[in-house]
Structures are given as C-alpha cells and as structure tokens.
Structure 1
Amino acid sequence: MKNRIFHLLVFTTFFLQCQNKKEQENIIKPTNTTMQENISTNQVKDILEKQTYLENEETEDKYTLSKIDLDILSDLISKDLKSKGYKEPSSENFSKKINSIFGLDIKCIQHGKIDTRYLVYHGNLLDGSQNTLEDNLFESFTETGNIFFDQKNKLLTPFVLLKNIVTIKGQNYSTHIPQNITAQNKYLFNDSKADLAWLKFNDKTFLETLVKDFGYVKDKDLLEWYIKGNGIEKYSNDKETYLKVFYTKNCDNSFNVHSETFSYMDSDPEKYSKEIISVLEEIRTDRIKLENLDFHEKSKLIAYLLYFGEKHKEKTGLTFSFMGTFYEHSQEDLQKKYDEEFKKQKYYGLPSFEKYWNEAKIEGDGIGLDM
C-alpha cells in the first residue's frame, strides 16, 4: 500500500512539473538583442508580432512589455529624428536640460529609472505604490502620463506600441513618428523656435504642463504664450491653478517663486495688479488654501504678490489695495506671524519691501486717513 502511495506521489509531482513547464513555454519572451543603428526588418517584425498578443484577452498574458520594447521604440524614434534634422545633444547638455526643465530626482517616487539608460517621470502616481508604478510602467501614456528620458539616444518619449509607428512593406519597414514627439524633442533639446510654434497650436497641453507643473519659465517666449492664454478669467473657479505660474513646489520639497513671471507682468502692471488683488483676497479669506505649501512657503509667495502691486501702485492708482488692505483685514494672530516671518527672511531681499510693509501697517486700507 505504501509503495502504491509513493508511486502515485511521484507520478503526480512529475505531471505537475510537466504542466508547469508547458505553461512556461506558452509565455512568449522578448528576444534580448542589442539594437543596431540600422535596425533590421526582422527585429521590428519580431517585436511587432509579440506585441500583437496584447491585443487579445486570451493571449495577453503570454507577452509582457519590457525594456526591450522601449529600446527598439527609442532607437526607431532616434533614427527618425535624425532624418528630420535633430541634433543629438552631448550627454552633459542633455543631462543639464532634463534636470533644469523637469527637475528629475530619483529619490522622489514620481521619478524613477530603468537600468542606467532611462530616467522616468511618472505623470500619474496611480495609487502611490512603487510596485503599482513598476507594474504599469509601459501602460498607455493616457493612463500613466509616463515620460521616458533615454540617456543613450538623448531624447524623450512616451511609450508607444510599434503598430502605431511602423508599417512593414515586404522586407522593408517605414516609420511614422507622431509629430508631437518630434517637435517636443527639437524644441527642448535643439531650441527650435519653429517646433515651439507648432506645439503652441498642436500640443498646448504639453507646453502648459512644462510651465504650471514643472515650473519651466526660463524661455520668455513660452512664458509669454502661457500667461496670455492662462489668465485669471480661464481659472475663475480654480485660482490655485492660476497661481502655479508664480511658483513651483518640487518633488524634493524645494520651493521656488518665479521672478521671471513677475518680470513679464511688469509690462502691464494695471492688468496684472487687478488679477493679483483677486487672488490675494481669496488667500486672505482662506478660499484659496494652498494646502501644498507650509507657512514659510505661503508667506514667501504672498510677499512677492504683495510686493508686485505695491511697487506699481503709483502707476495703477491702487494705493492701499495691496499691503495695507491685506494687513489690516488679516486676523490679528496672522498679522503678527506675517510680520515676524517677513523680518526673519529679511524681506526676501526685495528692494523697499520693508519700507512698504511698515507704511502699510500704519495706513491700512486707507479708509479714515486724511487725504
């Protein structure tokens, strides 16, 4: 009896091992090949065929997208970009650009890397779990917002299935890279004004994201375009988004106020003073909460907004509308806190700020003063 049980166990174990081996053989694995500068049609066909498994619910578990799919995608984009006049930047310049524009920091969960070749920006944190981000790394851009920065080819791209960019013709293939990918790379890394002009009409979302989400305000042309198209009338019900043109809170928790924005607005102080008054009033009355900022950061932003209106008050006639009104109508405990914070920060180095502020504490909103 014991012998029968033993033989049954051996047979069952052998059967399960065979079954498991058979299931593993049904899983299609990517061919780990190094892509050459001249990518062969066979290489393209191989990836194309494997990616077709993802289009059917019955076969989608047989193939998993990986870095190999991204490699060939990036190599094809690189080849196409160069044929359209793209000048590949040096490694140093590419690194400087992506850090100055996108502020990548792999210590932040929103930023990641794949081996030594790619840096990744996760546009959508999904449930905020590292495992979820990794599991969805190559899902559609619409779902993840992922942008890949290829340090080998010196370009950026979302993930795209090859069927969307490649056509096979016999033993040859042709690529049709989306124009927005071409224009984004040529604008950011070749400083192409023609491609910036194209993006303004055809990919506004990308350009707006550069300014309001990444805080890229160094390009005066882009900044002017953004400010003109994103005035307070557009965000009448979402003034926190309007305020993003004035500051950036980075993934590493560093905080920057954009002096470039205020410099541009100096060109029309009457228009922009009125916009700023309305947001200051909502900050003071707590209708704009700025919960992503701590008190020090919020105070700095308020100081710059107040200072803009105060320094232009002779031109605009808004004599008491900024510092005086803000101070007088703030709660008493906040008056003291702002006063202490501004002093502690040495008035942020803004010329005449201390003078304006001390006068405002006396004059208030101007009501009742002898004029």
Structure 2
Amino acid sequence: MKKYALVLLSVFVFFLSCKEKDTDTYKKNNSENMLANNDKIKSVLIKQVEAGNDEVYGGFQDYDKSDLDALIIVAESILKSNGYKNPDNNKFNDIVKKVFVRIIDNHSTNEYLKIEINENKCDKSLIYYPYTADAQYLYVVKGKFVTNFYPLPTVIDYLKLFPDVAKFEKEDILIEDKIENIQTRASQWKDDLKYLSETRENNIQTLVNRNKYLFNDSKASLVWLKFHDEYFLESLVKVFGYVGDKDLLKWVLDRNLNEEEFTKLLFTKTCDNKYIFNKEIFEVMTQADVKSQENYLLFLRGRTDFPKLDDLSFRDAAKINALYCYYATKFTASIERGDVYTFFPKLNDPKFEEEFKKNNYYNLPDFKGLYDDTKSGGIGLPE
C-alpha cells in the first residue's frame, strides 16, 4: 500500500514539474511574440544594429531616451515572465530610499533616476548612456524596477525575433582613423554571437535577480547574486551604506576584513559630507557563529589605528572614534577571551572625556561606565 502511494506521489510530482515547465515555456513564448510585434522596439533595434557595438569608435554615442524607453519595455516583459512582482508604489519608493538613499519625487515628470554605484553616487544628473565599462549606471524606473541601460541585442535574441534586421549589419562599418591614417573596421553585434548569447543570459539573470532580491525579498536571488554579482552586492553596503539585511551584511563583512575596506563598512559618507556610523556591523559580529567571532576578534585586535576619514572636526572625530571604541568594546566583552582594554585607552585623554560629557555620552546609557572601566587598561595613547 505504501509502495503504491509512493508511486502515485512520484507521478503527481512529475506531473506538476512538467506543468510548471510548460507554463514557463508558454510565458516565454508569449513574451517573445509580444516583443516581436512591437514597432518601437524594432525601430530602436535597427538603429543600434546599424551603429554596431564598438565602444572605441562611437557605437553608443547616439543612444538617447528612446533607447532606454525601448529597453524598459523589454525588461518589463522579461521580469514578468520570470515571476517578478511589482511592489506597490509606496513600498518601491521606501526600498529605493533605504537601499540607494534616493528620494523619488512622484510629482516629477522624469520617468527615471540614474544611480552610480561608485564614488560618484552623489551625481544625480540624468543622462542617457548605455552600459559600458566606463558607464555602469543603474536606472530606477519609477514604481517598477531597476536596470542597467542595456543595448537591446544584449537582452533579446534579435536575430530570432527580428530576422530581417540582419540586413542592417550586412555591410562592415568602416572608420577613418585620421591619427594613424588608416581605415579600421568597427566591431558589430554579429561578430561573436556565442559571446553575445552568454552576455545576454547573464544580463537577463542579473536583471531578474537584482529586482527579485530588492523588491520581492527573494533569498534564492540573493544566493545567485553572491555568486554572480558580487560587486553590486558589496556596493550596496560599502557605497550606499545599506545595512538592512543581516545576511548580506555578514557576507560583505567576511569578504572585507582588511583595514581599508572595513572602514567603508563602518562608516558611510553622505552627500552632505557627513559620516554615519554603522553599528549594525557589530550586531552582525555579536550574532555570528563562534568561528566567525574568533576571526572578527583577531582582526579587531590587530587594528592599531582609528579609521582614517577626511576633513573631520575634533568634535566629529571624537564622536566617530568613541562609537567605534564603544561598539568594539561591547563586542569583545561579549566573547570569552575578548580583550576589552584594546580600544578606549586610545581615548584616555581629558579632552576626549570633556567632549564625551558635553555630548551626554552620545545618549548611550552604559557608555560612561564602559569608558571609565576600560580607558586606562591594556595599552596607552598612540604617539
């Protein structure tokens, strides 16, 4: 009887699996058919195919908002066919604010925000330039999703959906190199279709998994990103100061246990040149497994200098260093064999104590007691 029930269960699971595959195939085919009949996409695609893909010889110089508009149609179709759910407008805006520290103005006529995931994060100018090695901009499509500005051939199989477009890249693109006084052939999309196919698949997976992680809270997408999109994930923490996901935060922390990168985790510089201290780093340390805690402790013991931050007044520097010492001391005190006398002795000077009093010990109830107990232990002031 049990064997019969097991066979029935296996058949049922197999049937469901086949049904899911059929549904996915139907969604994909339906999505492709809709795109293939879109004249706007086709006209933009022809322009991009004619221009080629040569970054050196200006293959992308004529891209504008119409190119991004066409991409958004494609990206929205891809996301829908891969199970992405649009959050409501308020939730979407809250997530963009929390993760990228950008406020969406619902009354603005601009459909997009441009975000740079590097040291230029404060540049809010809206320009339309496709994804290249030197322009890896992220665009926020208000109320919907985020995406890189991909050229269409890097997200759709253009020769399959629009086979007649092949005639627009039949002829070589010849460039006059006036410096070398020679004629050069610019690269085109048709030149390496195998590599283009691989790029396309990666771009699609990146689009889907970034959005499902950010806006659908998909743990599976976070796993994919950890293996395939490390720079993006690290930038969320190190550039924008996103500390709302403890799983992500521990993953980034474990990859950045060195002097320079650890500082980027501890402090986030805002666009008005202030520093935010990310105490969540120490919360992750405290909640970690024993082996991880030992690694963190070993690393903190080896930090002989305070984090190096630019253009700080004494007041701001005192606060930053005090918070670092406070949370580091709390962490080491919570671990067996933790050396609580490693940190506050560096601030054992009357000028610091006066500053702490003046600021009511930063409204931390146990700060004064911890400071008094540990400021004279272990090591002295640095020279």
Query: Could you tell me the TM-score, scaled by structure 1's length?
Result: 0.70
CA displacement 1:168-225 (0-9 Å, x = unmatched): 4366899855211110011000000111111111111111111111111111111122
Query: Aligned equivalents of 1:60 and 1:201: distance in 2?
Result: 33
Query: Residues 341 and 379 of structure 2 are in contact (CA less than 8 Å); yes or no, is this contact kept in structure 1?
Result: yes
Alpha-carbon offset, residue 321 of structure 1? 2.0
Query: Residues 237 and 243 of structure 2 are in contact (CA less than 8 Å); yes or no, is this contact kept in structure 1?
Result: yes
1:327 to 335, 343, 347: 347
Alpha-carbon offset, residue 38 of structure 1? 4.5
Structure 1 residues 66 and 292 mapped into 2: Cα distance closer, same or farther (>3 Å)? farther
Alpha-carbon offset, residue 347 of structure 1? 1.5
Alpha-carbon offset, residue 105 of structure 1? 5.1
Structure 1 residues 106 and 124 mapped into 2: Cα distance closer, same or farther (>3 Å)? farther
| One-letter amino acid matched to 2:239 | D
Higher relative contact order (CA 8 A, sep 6+): 2
Structure 1 residues 295 and 79 mapped into 2: Cα distance closer, same or farther (>3 Å)? farther
Alpha-carbon offset, residue 98 of structure 1? 0.4
Which residue number in structure 1 is paired with residue 371 of structure 2? 357
Query: Aligned equivalents of 2:350 and 2:360: distance in 1?
Result: 15
CA displacement 1:90-121 (0-9 Å, x = unmatched): 111111100010001589xxxxx994210111
Query: Aligned equivalents of 2:218 and 2:69: distance in 1?
Result: 26
Query: Residues 116 and 123 of structure 2 are in contact (CA less than 8 Å); yes or no, is this contact kept in structure 1?
Result: no
2:305 to 268, 279, 282: 282
Query: Residues 53 and 63 of structure 1 are in contact (CA less than 8 Å); yes or no, is this contact kept in structure 2?
Result: no
- SS for the counterpart of 1:100 is helix
Structure 1 residues 65 and 320 mapped into 2: Cα distance closer, same or farther (>3 Å)? same
- SS for the counterpart of 1:290 is coil
Q: Unaligned stretches of 5+ in structure 1?
A: 1-36, 108-112, 329-334
1:304 to 297, 305, 323: 323
**Alignment partner of 1:248 is 2:263:** no
Query: Residues 247 and 255 of structure 1 are in contact (CA less than 8 Å); yes or no, is this contact kept in structure 2?
Result: yes
- SS for the counterpart of 2:83 is coil
| One-letter amino acid matched to 1:51 | Q
Which residue number in structure 2 is paired with residue 226 of structure 1? 252
Query: Residues 124 and 144 of structure 1 are in contact (CA less than 8 Å); yes or no, is this contact kept in structure 2?
Result: no
| One-letter amino acid matched to 2:111 | R
Query: Residues 213 and 221 of structure 2 are in contact (CA less than 8 Å); yes or no, is this contact kept in structure 1?
Result: yes
Alpha-carbon offset, residue 301 of structure 1? 2.8
Query: Aligned equivalents of 1:54 and 1:114: distance in 2?
Result: 32
| One-letter amino acid matched to 1:140 | Y
Query: Aligned equivalents of 2:55 and 2:134: distance in 1?
Result: 19
CA displacement 1:126-145 (0-9 Å, x = unmatched): 8x998xx66x6404342123
**Alignment partner of 1:93 is 2:112:** no
Which residue number in structure 2 is paired with residue 272 of structure 1? 296
Between structure 1 and structure 2, the one with the greater Rg is 1
Which residue number in structure 2 is paired with residue 69 of structure 1? 67
Which residue number in structure 1 is paired with residue 242 of structure 2? 216
**Alignment partner of 1:150 is 2:174:** no
Query: Could you tell me the TM-score, scaled by structure 2's length?
Result: 0.68
Identity %: 32
Query: Aligned equivalents of 1:337 and 1:145: distance in 2?
Result: 46
CA RMSD in angstroms, aligned pairs only = 3.5
* Further displaced range: 137-146 or 168-177: 168-177
* Further displaced range: 154-163 or 261-270: 261-270
Query: Aligned equivalents of 1:303 and 1:59: distance in 2?
Result: 53
CA displacement 1:225-247 (0-9 Å, x = unmatched): 2222222xxx3xxx232122222
What does residue range 80-159 of structure 1 map to in structure 2 within 5 Å? 80-104=78-102, 115-123=109-117, 137-152=128-143, 154-159=144-149
Alpha-carbon offset, residue 292 of structure 1? 5.7
Query: Aligned equivalents of 1:92 and 1:343: distance in 2?
Result: 41
**Alignment partner of 1:190 is 2:188:** no
Query: Aligned equivalents of 2:60 and 2:136: distance in 1?
Result: 25
| One-letter amino acid matched to 1:345 | N
Alpha-carbon offset, residue 64 of structure 1? 2.1
Structure 1 residues 70 and 295 mapped into 2: Cα distance closer, same or farther (>3 Å)? farther
Alpha-carbon offset, residue 294 of structure 1? 4.6
CA displacement 1:308-352 (0-9 Å, x = unmatched): 34333483352532212x135xxxxxx344323322222222232
* Further displaced range: 258-267 or 301-310: 301-310
| One-letter amino acid matched to 1:243 | T
Query: Aligned equivalents of 1:243 and 1:194: distance in 2?
Result: 29
Query: Residues 119 and 239 of structure 2 are in contact (CA less than 8 Å); yes or no, is this contact kept in structure 1?
Result: no
CA displacement 1:145-185 (0-9 Å, x = unmatched): 31100015x11011111111122436689985521111001
Which residue number in structure 1 is paired with residue 15 of structure 2? none
Query: Residues 340 and 374 of structure 2 are in contact (CA less than 8 Å); yes or no, is this contact kept in structure 1?
Result: no
Alpha-carbon offset, residue 277 of structure 1? 3.6
Q: Unaligned stretches of 5+ in structure 2?
A: 1-32, 166-196
Query: Aligned equivalents of 1:310 and 1:208: distance in 2?
Result: 26
CA displacement 1:71-108 (0-9 Å, x = unmatched): 1101111111011100011111111100010001589x
Alpha-carbon offset, residue 123 of structure 1? 3.6
Structure 1 residues 211 and 61 mapped into 2: Cα distance closer, same or farther (>3 Å)? closer
Structure 1 residues 292 and 64 mapped into 2: Cα distance closer, same or farther (>3 Å)? farther
